[in-house]
Structures are given as C-alpha cells and as structure tokens.
Chain A
Amino acid sequence: MTRLMRPSRRGFLAAGAATLATPAILRAQEKPSEIIVRAWGGAWGDALQGGVADGFTAATGVPVRLDFTEDNEIKPKIWAAVDQGRVPPIHINWDTTTNATISARRGACVDLSDLPNLEGLLPLATPVGLEGYPLVNTYAYVYVCAYRPEAFPDGPPESWRVMLDPKFKGRIALYDDGIGFNPIAVIAGGGTFDDIPDNMEPGYEFYRQLKENAPLLGEDPDFTTWFQNGEIDLACTISVNARAARQSGIEVEWTVPAEGCKVDTDGLWIPKGLPANEEHWAREFVNYALSGEAQEKWCSMLGLPPVYPGLAPPADLVGDPAYPTTPEDFAKLVSVPSPILVDNQPIWFAKFSEIFQG
C-alpha cells in the first residue's frame, strides 16, 4: 500500500465529517415551494415582479409570491415571530430604509455582508450607522412636487410655498405622517438644512400656515385617486407614483422646487428565524436583485436611480432632477441620514399629528 493510498486518521475523519455534512448542505440548499417577498402594490409591485421576481424564478426555478401587506403592518408581525422563535411570515421585506433600520436596531435582520453582488455597488447601497449589512439599499427615490399642469398655466411651481396660496385651499396633499416633507417644510418655512433635527420649528410653523389651506393627508394610492378624480392640484409624493399616474393617462407633471426635495432609499432585508434552506434562497433573491440585470430592469420600471453603477436612466427621465445620478444631482436634493430619521421620526410625526389633527 502506497503512502498516498493509505488513509490517515485525519483524512478519515475529514471524509467522515464531509459525508455527514453533505446532507445538511444539501438540505440548506433545498428549494422551497416559494419565496414570499413583502412588496408595495400598483406600479411598485409590477416593477418588482417584472424586474426581479420573474428573472429570479427563471434562473432558479423558485417561485416568488408578493405579499402586499402594508409595510408598517408587517413590521410587528415579523418582530413578534423573531422574538418568539417562530418562522417569520415572509422571506424578504422590501422596506423603506428608515423602517428597515428600525428592524435592524431590534436585531430582527439577517446579516447580508457575504452577498457576492454587494461588490462594486454605489455607496448608496450601504446602510448608515449599522454594523455590516442587516439591510441593503437598492435604489434612491425622490419625494417630488407633483402637480396638475392645468392648475399651473404659467409653468411648474417654483417654490413649495405655493402650497400656502389660498387658491389651492383643499387641493393639496401630503403623506399622512409627513414623511417625505418634514425636512422640506423646515427649509420652506425659512430654516436651513442645518436646523434639522435640532430646530424643526420653522417647519412646524410652515405646517401651521399650511393647515389653513386644508391639505388632504393620505398614502400612495390616495394620491393617484385624488389626481384622477380632480380632487387635488398639488402633492408631495414619490416620483414613481406621479410617473405611474402619468403613464396611466392622468394629467400629472412633477418638479423639484427651489427648496429641493427629499431624497431617500428603499432596501431589502431578511428576517431572522427562517429555516436554513429558505434563508439561503432568500439571500439568493436579494443577491439577484442587486445584479446588473435585475437592477436595470427593476429600476427602469420604477423610474429610479439604482445602486448598480453605470446604468442609463429610462428615456423619459434623462435629465430629470427627480432622477439623480451624479453627486451634483444629489446635492440639489435634501438627504437626511437614516439614523437621524429613525431617532426623530416619532417626534416629527407627533408634532405633525398635533398640528393637522388638533
């Protein structure tokens, strides 16, 4: 017997361990019957389905189901499942970076640092103020000033202060928690970016004046309905909604007024507590969503700048200030770091409610 052929004790143990470990690895990669991704509906869900889910299923054979539970409502369900050691209701949460950061602070997220497709992404993809990658940002979006061109015959509104014009009384809309507008209100109210978050009073004063103009407060679908039914002339909403409304034949344009618009990010995260094979395929899904192919398709359908570098904007958004691609573009917008948003959003929301519901 040659030395090469004689099995050493270490080799024997290694071979045995490998034999024992193989089923576990295979089990870890066993395909689940489906991957559930929490998503927003309408144009958002269509883009995720067409841009990521379909391609992922074609590449892996794993079906993807979108769950349209409201983003704020899925949070406590996931948290409770993680805390109680139950399997979470979804595999991947498509979430705002602020909400995802809150979940990360609670320790509900799986670390995604080892995803191969993180390599080479724009810095925008990296979460701020957190260790590793409990979430990964997937694109940026802008809360634009969307308007009905018929109501602005002299051209797009140049300042957010147009909201205070009595002729728009009852015909303005904001998000019902002030999201996307709180920092802008500070600047429109005479403050500066440096006032955020310690001196929000100019923003609150702007809100008090705005209240006299009876704005409507709602969510994404409300804005589309209100524009469609001619209920509003002006809204602060995400460009995706305005673009989707325009694509469906509603007369809506958008602009970035002099005070700027808030730019933010959304991301993907995986809750803890999934069975190993399901977590594996959830990671594969997130990894696929960060690939050039998926990013190009997904983000062009949404009309948003991706975190994958070098992708051209859709033809209808070339040069659009609501589609920032360069640092100069971003400089014209208002970006508040996620940790500041997470720490202050409850305070801002409380004040917003106090003013508009009081």
Chain B
Amino acid sequence: MSSAVRRGLDILEALARLWPFRGPAGVGWSFLAPALLIVGVLVIGLGYMIEASLRELDITTYRLRDEYSLGNYQTFWSRDVYLSVLTRTLLGALLVTAITLLLALPYAYLMVRTTSAAIRKALLVALFLPFFIGQVVRAYGWLIILGREGLVNSAVAALGFEPLPLLFNFSAVIFGLVQYMLPFAILLLVPALQAIPEDYERAAEGLGAPPWRTFATIVLPLARPGLIGAGIVVFTLTLTDFAMPEILGGGTQDFFASTIYDSFFQISNAGLGAALSMVLVTLGSLIVAGVFALAGTGTLGARA
C-alpha cells in the first residue's frame, strides 16, 4: 500500500470519527425540541381540560362556576346514556379493528409478495386513492350508494325485492369506518411484512408445509409487530371518530365523540364536555398502555 493511499485512509478514518456527531449536551435536546413543543402544548391543553372538567355549569349565567367539584364526573356515572354510548363506541372500535386487520393483512401481503409490478402499482393506487377523498365526502358517497334509492337498492329493486335498510344503523357505521381505516392499516402492515425474509417461507414450503400453514406459523407470528401497530392506530382513530357515526348512523348511533361535541356545543356545557373528554382520553390511554404492556409496541416502537 502506497503512502498516499495510507494517508488517504487516515484522513477518512479521522472523518469517520466525527460521526456520530458528538456535540455539546444541549444538541440532543434541541433535536427533541419540536416534539417537546407539541407534547407541551398538548399537556397544557389537557391541563385546561382537567380544570374545566372540575367546574359545573351555572345555568343562570351560562358560565362555569368558580368552585371545583366532581359534579360533571358524577353526571357521567349517573346517566346511563353516557355509559351506553361509551360501550357502543368501544364495541365499534374493537369490531372495526378486527375487521380492518382481517382485510388489510392479505392486501398488504399481496402487495409485498407479488412479483408483478403492474399488480403492485394497481394495489398502491387503490390504496392511496381514498386519501384524496375526505372522510365526510366518503360518508356522503355511501349515502348515495347505500340509500333507499341508491345504487345497491336500485339493483335490489330491479330484481323484484324490497329495498334493504342498508343505512342509518350500527352496521352502516362499522362498514363506513372499516372502509375509512383500511388504508391506514395496510400502510402500517406493509413495512412489517417486508421485514419478513421470503426465504423463511420458501424453507417452510420446501419442508412440505402447505401455504396456509406457512402463513399461520411463519408470516402471522412475524407480522405481529405490524398487526399491533396497525391495530392500535385503527382502534384509537375509531374510538375518537365523529363523522362516520354522525352521517351513516342517522343520529341514533352516535359514538362518544358526538356526545362530547353535544356537551360543548349543543348545550354549551364546557365543563361536562371536558369531563367526558377526559373519560375518553383516560380510557383510550389505558387500553393502549395495556396492549403495549402485554404485547409490546409493535411497529410503533423504536425497537420491537
């Protein structure tokens, strides 16, 4: 090795020592600053919400009382309607999560494993198209398609049957939410499936395992981080969804977000609205924390 080459390598080595960059102690924190700012604003907002939730409405002035009490939380516990809407919301979120993951997994798997570039592109386009259409517009689209005089019922009527009640019920809300959540779940599952070496499946195949067994014993367990990540995202988004239950539920299938909205805006009771919000935030956080504790953070964690 010539001395010039050796000198060049020495320079490269010296440069390499500079990476990873070790600056003053504050540099790391400065990288975190934007995130801390966002979280800080959120925490301040939550603080205000907690404070408001402890003050009841004075109907003579329509202002929150100065004294603190647990009255708004007692109202939540004492009124069956809140518990039943909350139960409906939780049930809806669980159903939507389960159905969405069931549909998203094969879609994502096909997208990752297909050898045809055309199919992959078609699946990608189909995946991203819904993102260009907002949730409200999509919900109104379903009103047109599933309505009494919509496309589906026109076909049903053409066959000589009575129109089907496809809208304004719990099933319609679940259907609309699954359709809305599906792209999110697929997007979160794809990286997890891509991380599974294809050789594992080939090895299983070579050892005589039928495709279903390979899928059940190799793909599914290794896709767990993706399933957990996608499940958490879909569950939390559904838990707080407002538009789909409002539009497709016909006013009688409200989720808890609608109840919160009604308290803030319909009856101008910010204290009660804040208390209901805190109930939903606490419940959602506990459920997510429980899943993290039992099953890990999945693809949502830095290291699974």
Contact = CB atoms under 8 A, between A and B. Distances in A.
Interface of A: 70, 72-73, 75-76, 102-103, 105-107, 170, 176-177, 214-218, 222, 225, 229-231, 342-343, 345-346, 349-350, 353-354, 356-358
Contact of B61 (A70, A106, A356): A106
Given A73-B265, A75-B265, A353-B81, 5 more contacts: A216-B168, A229-B147, A231-B168, A350-B267, A357-B85
A231 B167 contact: yes
Given A106-B63, A229-B143, A350 B79 contact: yes
Interface stretch (B187-195, B218-226, B250-258): B250-258
A350 B167 CA distance: 25
A116 to B, nearest CB: 30
A222 B140 CA distance: 11
8 contacts: A76-B265, A231-B168, A342-B59, A343-B59, A346-B269, A353-B259, A356-B251, A357-B259
A218 B246 CA distance: 9
B248 to A, nearest CB: 11
A216 B79 CA distance: 23
A230 B63 CA distance: 43
Contacts of A217: 250-252
A103 B268 CA distance: 10
Contacts of B211: none
B252 A76 contact: no
B149 A230 contact: yes
Interface of A, helix, strand, loop or mixed by DSSP: helix
Contacts of B149: 229-230
- Residue from B62, B80, B165 whose CB has the most chain A CB atoms within 10 Å: B62
B252 A102 contact: no
A176 B251 contact: yes
A250 to B, nearest CB: 12
B250 A356 contact: no
A345 B267 CA distance: 8
Contacts of A177: 262, 266
A70 B261 CA distance: 12
B264 interface: yes
Nearest to A104: B62
A353 B259 CA distance: 9
Interface string B143-165: 11001111000000000000001
A229 B265 CA distance: 29
A357 B167 contact: no
B243 to A, nearest CB: 13
B260 interface: no
Contact of A214 (B59, B252, B262, B268): B252
B270 interface: yes
A353 B262 contact: yes
Contacts of A72: 265-266, 268
B80 A354 contact: yes
Contacts of B62: 102-103, 105-106
A76 B268 contact: yes
Interface of B, helix, strand, loop or mixed by DSSP: loop
Contact of B251 (A107, A218, A342, A343): A218
Contacts of A229: 143-144, 147-150
Contacts of B147: 229-231
B171 interface: no
A105 B60 contact: yes
Contacts of A230: 147-149
A222 to B, nearest CB: 8
B84 interface: yes
B61 A349 contact: no
Contacts of A73: 265
A231 B59 contact: no
A187 B149 CA distance: 35
A197 B174 CA distance: 38
B135 to A, nearest CB: 17
B165 A170 contact: yes
A357 B252 contact: yes
Contacts of B148: 229-231
A72 B59 CA distance: 16
Given A170-B165, A358-B81, A218 B267 contact: no
Contacts of B143: 225, 229
B28 to A, nearest CB: 37
A336 B150 CA distance: 40
Contacts of A105: 60-62
Contact of A346 (B59, B252, B259, B265): B59
Contacts of A231: 147-148, 167-168
A358 B83 CA distance: 9
A222 B143 CA distance: 11
Nearest to A177: B266
A216 B252 CA distance: 7
Interface string B226-255: 000000000000000000000000111010
Contacts of A76: 264-265, 268, 270
A342 B85 CA distance: 26
Contacts of B264: 76
A229 B149 CA distance: 6
B59 A218 contact: no
Contacts of A103: 62
B60 A356 contact: no
Nearest to B85: A357
A157 to B, nearest CB: 20
Nearest to A214: B252
Given A76-B270, A105-B60, A350-B79, A218 B250 contact: yes
A312 B60 CA distance: 39
A166 to B, nearest CB: 14
